[in-house]
Amino acid sequence: MMARVNKALGCVAACLGLVTLALTPAYAQYGNEEAVGLSAGIRGGLLIPDTALSGKPNIQGGLFFRYGLMPKLQAELGLGYGRLTTEDNAIILDSTQPAPAPGDDVNLQYRRDPNRLVEYGTDMALIDFRLVYSPFAYETWNPYIYGGIGWDRFDVADETPRRGSFSGIGSTAYIPLGVGTQKKLSDSWGLELGLGYNIGFHEQLDEDPVGGNDNFWTLSIALVTGSLGVKPPMQERVAPPMPPKPKPRPITKPRPMPEPEPEVEMPLPEFDRVFFSLNTTDLSSDAKDVLEQVSIALQQDLSLLLSIHGHADDLGPGAYNLKLSQRRAQMVKDYLTSNGVSAWRLGIRAFGEAHPIASNDTEDGRAQNRRVELKPMR
């Protein structure tokens, strides 16, 4: 009994310690600086009892919903079903007791049959709330740990005399703890594998009222869609190295040349601004039309270079808006390079909310400030 209590307390302490690390600013260099959005999924797998009786794996599964609270930390609400299956010696009527006289009110005595095992099952409706912490950010993998609190509505399906006055139907709290990893399949779909240990607060889930509280393991696979955990920060592309300088040619006496006609410097073209919706880097159809014209102009005049300036409105923290403007400028650069413009001809700068062209006090003004400006030069 004390060993189970110590193990439960140790798991709770480990969960609290990991959540504390998630809230500590010293670990902010890992992962993305933004909280992820809403995601949902369906999971299924095995439920393995950890009780006083020997157990058999059985099914478990359900739905879950997650939402980002802060960078690296998500809240999850889960709804599911599991079946806990155990084995024990069969309980039979004790044939050695004297037969009661007709009309006598006696308590029948039962005993275990050492020669026969019986399988007992318990149906469980599970609901839990978890905090999911992702300590690291990889390009396609997202490892995580979790801890929380849950509620179990259970029904011991197989009745035996051992139950005594307990009806077999009840509710209890439990603590879900575990680890897992998420594999990115696409921008909006992912596959998860998870291993969990659930600490119970009831001792008759397995039909046996002794032996301490009944716990269980879960081994699951899940399909999730929506915002897929943390993402690695976008890296700046490096321009290719300049070609080596040609070897100098032998000096020869130049022939007299006529004076060249003065070169007329061509004026630089002017490009329209590219505007963005609130808190996004997606290119609208109007924005793509503008960038198509810019691509044609750059391919026709190979002497042109382009400086791409990203801007944002003043909604949200300044540091977040600066990164958002950087990502908008990078999105425009990526679109131009996909249309055949050499990446070394394109430079990007991020200004955040520092240079508005309209008032941020109105929606129309903020819409004009969520922009990317295209500055041609030679």
CATH number of 295's domain: 3.30.1330.60
- CA dist 153 and 49 (Å) reads 16
Q: Is the predicted pLDDT of residue 152 greater than 90, yes or no?
A: yes
d(CA 239, CA 161): 79
pLDDT higher than threshold 60 for residue 234: no
Give 297-348 pLDDT, tens digit per residue: 999 988 889 999 999 999 889 899 999 999 999 999 999 999 999 999 999 9
Give the tens place of pLDDT for each residue, 24-68. Answer: 333 332 334 556 778 899 999 999 998 877 788 999 999 999 998
Burial 345-372 (b: 16+ CB within 10 A, else e): ebbbebbbbeebeeeeeeeeebebbbbb
Share of the chain above pLDDT 90, in %: 44
Task: Determine the Cα–Cα distance for residues 254 and 21; give it in Å rounded to an integer.
Answer: 75
Compute the distance between CA of residue 25 and CA of residue 216 in angstroms, rounded to an integer: 34
- Residues 64 and 147 both lie in one domain: yes
Residue 219 burial (10 A CB sphere; 0-12, 13-18, 19+): middle
Please give the mean pLDDT across all residues of the chain.
80
Q: Which residue has the higher pLDDT, 100 or 250?
A: 250
User: Same structural domain for residues 26 and 164?
Assistant: yes
Residue 269 belongs to some domain of the structure: no
Q: Which pLDDT belongs to residue 244?
A: 81
- 279 DSSP assignment: T
Residue 211 reports pLDDT greater than 70: no
Which range scores top for mean pLDDT: 86-95, 158-167, 201-210?
201-210
Please give the single-letter amino acid code of residue 212. Answer: G
The per-residue pLDDT for range 65-79, each reduced to its tens digit, is 999 888 888 999 999
DSSP 160: -
Greatest distance between any 2 Cα atoms in the chain: 141
307 and 214 in a common domain:
no
Residues 317 and 181 in one domain: no
Q: Cα–Cα distance between 97 and 99 in angstroms, integer?
A: 6
Residue 125 or 97, more confident: 125
Nearest residue to 124 via CA among 216, 222, 221, 43: 216
Residue 354 sits in the same domain as residue 217:
no
Q: Which pLDDT value is given to residue 117?
A: 73
Q: Is pLDDT above 70 for 85? A: yes
Q: Is residue 246 part of a domain?
A: no
- Residue carrying structure tokens 């110590």: 6
Q: Tell me, yes or no, whether 207 and 279 share the same domain.
A: no
The CATH code of the domain that includes 205 is 2.40.160.20
Whole domain around residue 118: which residue ranges? Answer: 2-95+112-226
What are the angstrom distances between the C-alpha of 283 and each of 32, 180, 288, 291, 307?
22, 35, 6, 10, 18
In a domain, 116, yes or no: yes
Q: What is the mean pLDDT of residues 178-187?
A: 90
- pLDDT value at residue 5: 40
Residues 198 and 290 in one domain: no
Confidence (pLDDT) at 293 = 92
Q: Are both 47 and 188 inside the same structural domain?
A: yes
Range in 94-103, 120-129, 193-202, 272-281 the model is least confident about: 94-103
pLDDT number for residue 146 = 96
Q: pLDDT exceeding 70 applies to what percent of the chain?
A: 75
Are residues 81 and 171 part of one domain?
yes
pLDDT of residue 21: 39
Higher pLDDT, residue 279 or 262: 279
Confidence grade of residue 98 (pLDDT, cut at 50, 70, 90): low
Residue 44 belongs to a domain:
yes
Which residue in 329, 343, 323, 332 sits closest to 231, CA to CA? 323
Q: Is residue 103 part of a domain?
A: no
Q: What is the pLDDT of residues 186-206, one digit of tens each?
A: 888 999 999 999 998 887 777
Q: Does one domain contain both 15 and 77?
A: yes
At 94, is the pLDDT very low, low, confident or very high (cuts 50, 70, 90)? low
Evaluate whether residue 144 is within a structural domain: yes
Q: Is residue 82 part of a domain?
A: yes
Higher pLDDT residue, 97 or 376?
A: 376
Do both 197 and 289 map to the same domain? Answer: no
Whether residues 298 and 191 fall in one domain: no
Predicted confidence band at 246 (pLDDT cuts at 50, 70, 90)? confident
Domains in the chain, number: 2
Residue 126 counted as domain residue: yes
